[in-house]
Structure 1
C-alpha cells in the first residue's frame, strides 16, 4: 500500500520546521514581553463544549471522535434511526430537517468528544473552569494546532496552527492600544515593513445602520460594505439594493464610499455622520481613544488605518475590530485579526467578563516572509559542522570535542561510519552543513583540528578555542 496522508494535512521538512519555529519563537518572545502567560488546552474537548458555539456552518466543520473501546458490543445496542438507514450521506440535498436532527442525535450517542475547532472557545471554557485560580485581568497566549473538516484548497487546510493572545476581565481600552503595539513589535522583528493594522468598531457599524434606518439589516449592510475594495462602489450599492436596503439609506452612506484622509479627519467625518446615534458615538469615542494613543506612543514599522468597511466577526465582536494586511506589493489576504468581545465566557455561565484578543496567521506570515526573503541565513535545522569519522580512536577524540562544543550551544555532529571521505563530504553537502572537521593522528597528537569551509574549499589547522569561536 502506497503511504499517504489525509487530505488537508501536511508534512513539513526540517528546513520548513526551522522556518516555522523562527516565526513561532518571534511571536512567543513578544507575547511574553507584553505580559501574556502561556496556557495549553487538550487537543479534543467534550462535544457539548464546542457544538453550538460557531453557528450551523461551524458545527458541520467540527471533527467528531468516535467513542473508543467495544462500544457497539456493550449493552447499549445503539442502532441507526430507521428514517435514515438508507440515507445517501454523499447527497446532502436528500437530508430533511427531521432526518438531520435524528442524525445529530445518533452522532451524539456514538461520539462524545471532538477535535478543537479554534482556541477561543476552549480558552473561554478554561477561564470559567479555573476562574478561582486566575488573577484577573488574565492575559494568556496560546500556540497550538486546530482542526476543521473543511474542503481542502490552496491556503486552506484541515489542520493548522493558531497563535492567539487575549486579555479577559478588563474593559480598559489601553488593552487595545497594547495589542496594536504587540502587532507592530512582532512584524517589525520579522522585518516586515509597511504592514497595515486596520481598525474599526462594531458600534460604528451598528450606528451607521441605525442612522440610515437599516438596523434590522446590519449583517447584510456590513457584508456588502466589506466588499468595497473587491467589487467597487456600484457593486456594493447593487448588493445592498438586492438585500432590501433602500435608495434613501444608500444615499446617506455615500460618504463611506470615498472615506479618505488622516485618522483624525476620518473620526471627524464619523462624528458628523453618527451624531444622532448614541451607540455610534460611543464607537467614535472608543476609536478616538485607541488611535490617538497609538499615534502618540508611535509604531516602529507598521501603519495604523481606520477602515470603516472592516466588518469581520460581527457575530461575536462588540467593540474594536482588527485586521492586519501584508506590506504593499505582496499578494496575500489578512495575516492577523482580532477584536473586543463583551461576553465570551457567558456561553459557559460566567457573565460580564469582557475581553479582547488578536491572532497571527502563521501560514500566511511564513509565505510573506519567504516571498520577501526575510528569513535569516541562520534559520536552519542543520548542524554548523560535521566531524568526519576517520576510525575508532579518531571518533573517540572527536566525540569529546563535540561534547564541549555542544555545551557552548554550538550545533555539531559526527558522521557515524568510518567510510570513504568522499561519501562523508557528499553527505555534508546534501545536508548543507557549512564546515567539515578532520581529525587524524597528527591532529590528535597536537590537540588541533583541520576545519574546512565546504563552500570555498578553504582549510586551516586551528586550536579548540579558535574552532569554537569560528563555529559561533
Structure 2
C-alpha cells in the first residue's frame, strides 16, 4: 500500500520545524514579557465539554473519537444500531464520549472551573498546542494546526484588552508582518439585534454577518431573510454593514447615530473608545463593524488580525468572554483572550520571505572523517566545541573528500574541519569556510576559541 497522510495534515521537515520554532519562540517570549505563564491541557476532552460552545457551525467541525473496544461491534446489535446513528452525525454515549479539542479556549475555561479555588486572580496563562477541526482543507486551513493563546481571567478591567492588543502589535512587529488589528464589540452586535427586533435575533445576525467576506452582502441579506428577519430589519443591518469613514472616530460617530440610543450600543462604543484612547499612536487598530466572530461565548471586545499584502484569512483573533466558566458551573469569572494562527503566520512569512537566514541554520561545523585515529581526535575536539554550544558533527565513515564536501553542501554547513595524518602529527587542523571558499591552518588547541559564526 502506498503511504499517505490524512487530508489536512502535514509532515514538517527540519527547515520548516526551525522556522515554526522561530515563530513559537517569538510569541512565547512576548507572552512572558507581559506576565503570562504556560499551561498545557490534554489533546482530547469529554465530548460534553466541547459541544454547544462554538455555535451550530462550529459544533459540526468537532472531531469525535470512537471509544476503544468497538472492534467487535458486529457482534452486538445495539452497538451496530448506535454506530449507524454516529455515522449520521449524532453523539451516542458508549460510542463517542470524547473528542479532539477544537480550540484552546474551552479547555482553558474547563481548567479554570476545575481549579479556580487554587488560582491567583487575575490568572494570566498562555498555551501553545495543536487543535483539530473537521474542516474542508484549503490554503491556510488545515484539520490539524497549532494555536498560541493568551488569556486573562478574573478581571473586568479593559486594560487587559489594551495589553493584548499591544501583544499583537509587538509580536507581528518582531516577525516583520505588517498587519491590521480589526476590532469590534459584541455589545454593538447585541444592540443591532435589539434595534432589529430583539436579543433572540443576535445569533442569526452574527452567523450571517460572519460570512460577509466569503459570500458578499447580497447573500448575507438573503440568509438573514431565511433566518426570519423582515425587510426593514435587513435594511438596518445593511446600513450597519456599509458604515465607512476615513478614521475610527468618523466610523464610531456614524455607528453612534445608528445604535447609540440603546444602552448596549452606547456601552460597546465606549469600550472601543477606551481601547483606542489608550493606544492613540497604534495605527494598526481599525474599527470594523462587520467583524462578528460567530462564537457563542464572546461578550465584549473582539479582535481579528489581517496580514497586509497577502491573500490569506485571519492570522489571529479573540475577544472578551465574561462568563465562559459559567458553562462549567463556576459563574461570574470574566475573561478576555487572543489567539495566534501559527500555520497561517508561517504561510504569510514564507510568501513574503520574512524568515531571517539564521533561522534555517543547523550544523555549523562538519569534521571530516579521514581515518581511525584522525576521527577519534576529531571526535574529542568536536565534544569540546559542543560544550561551547557550537553545533557540529563528524562524517559517519571514512570517505573521499568530494563525498564529504557534497554532504556539507547539501546540509548548508558553513565550516569543514579536516584533520589528516599530517595535521594529527603537527597538532593542527585545516579549517575551511565553505561559504567564502577560504581556508586556514589552525593549531588544535585554538579550535575551541575560534568564532564559528
Q: TM-score, normalised by structure 2?
A: 0.90
Q: Deviations over 1:135-165 (max 9, x none)?
A: 1111101111122333434433222111111
Instruction: Indicate yes or no: 2:28 matched with 1:28.
Output: yes
* Aligned equivalent of 1:348, options 328, 333, 342: 328
Aligned partners of 2:201 and 2:335: how far apart in 1? 26
CA shift for structure 1 position 420: 1.4
Q: How many Å apart are 1:410 and its aligned residue?
A: 1.6
Contact 1:453 1:459 in 2 (8 A): yes
Partner of 1:377: 357
Contact in 2 for aligned 1:389/1:395 (Cα 8 Å): yes
Quote the Cα distance in structure 2 between the aligned partners of 1:117 and 1:230: 22
2:50 alignment partner in structure 1: 50
**Following TM superposition, where does structure 1 have runs of at least 4 consecutive aligned residues deviating by more than 6 angstroms?**
none
2:126 aligned residue (127, 134, 141)? 141
Shift of 1:468: 4.8
Shift of 1:235: 5.6
Report the counterpart of residue 9 of structure 1 in structure 2.
Answer: 9
- Relative to structure 1, the CA distance from residue 231 to residue 33 in structure 2 (aligned partners, 3 Å threshold; closer, same or farther) is same
| CA distance in structure 2 between the partners assigned to 1:360 and 1:148 by the alignment | 16
Structure 1 residue 415, shift from structure 2 partner: 0.5
* Contact 2:152–2:337, Cα closer than 8 Å, also in 1: yes
- Asked if the contact 1:214/1:245 (under 8 Å) is kept, the reply is no
Query: How far does residue 80 in structure 1 lie from its aligned partner after superposition?
Result: 2.6
Matches within 5 A, 1:109-120: 109-120=94-105
Unaligned runs of 5+ in 1: 93-99
2:292 maps to what in 1?
A: 311
Q: Given the alignment of the two structures, is residue 402 of structure 1 paired with residue 402 of structure 2, yes or no?
A: no
**Aligned partners of 2:240 and 2:255 also within 8 Å:** no
Answer yes or no: is 1:41 the counterpart of 2:41: yes
* Helix, strand or coil at the partner of 1:427: helix
Residue of structure 2 aligned with 1:166, choices 128, 133, 151:
151
1:203-257 per-position Cα deviation (integer Å, ceiling 9, x unaligned): 1111123234464433343444455556666565555455554444455453651
Q: Which runs of 5+ in 2 are unaligned?
A: none
**CA deviation digits over 1:179-221, x for unaligned, max 9?**
000001100000113x100000001111123234464433343
Could you say which residue in structure 2 is the equivalent of 1:156?
141
C-alpha deviation, 1:270, in angstroms: 2.4
Equivalent pair of 1:449/1:467 in contact (CA under 8 Å): no
CA distance in 1, matches of 2:423, 2:85: 75
Alignment match of 1:211 (pick from 153, 171, 195): 195
Cα RMSD of the aligned pairs, angstroms, is 2.8
**How many angstroms does 1:265 deviate by?**
2.3
Q: CA deviation at 1:78?
A: 5.4
TM-score (norm 1): 0.86
Bigger shift: residues 142-151 or 369-378: 142-151
Contact 1:233 1:257 (8 Å CA) reproduced: no
Alignment of 1:103-114 (within 5 A): 104-105=91-92, 108-114=93-99
The one-character-per-residue Cα deviations of 1:53-74 (angstroms, maximum 9, x if unpaired) are 334554444334444469859x
- Three-state SS of the structure 2 residue aligned to 1:339 is strand
Distance 2:362 2:77 in 1: 54
Aligned residue for 1:95?
none
The number of residue pairs the alignment matches comes to 450
The 1:465/1:196 distance shift into structure 2, 3 A limit, reads farther
Is the contact between residue 214 and residue 249 of structure 1 (CA under 8 Å) also seen in structure 2?
no
Q: Deviations over 1:286-330 (max 9, x none)?
A: 1111111012xx44xx61001111111341110001000002x21
In the alignment, is residue 187 of structure 1 matched against residue 172 of structure 2? yes
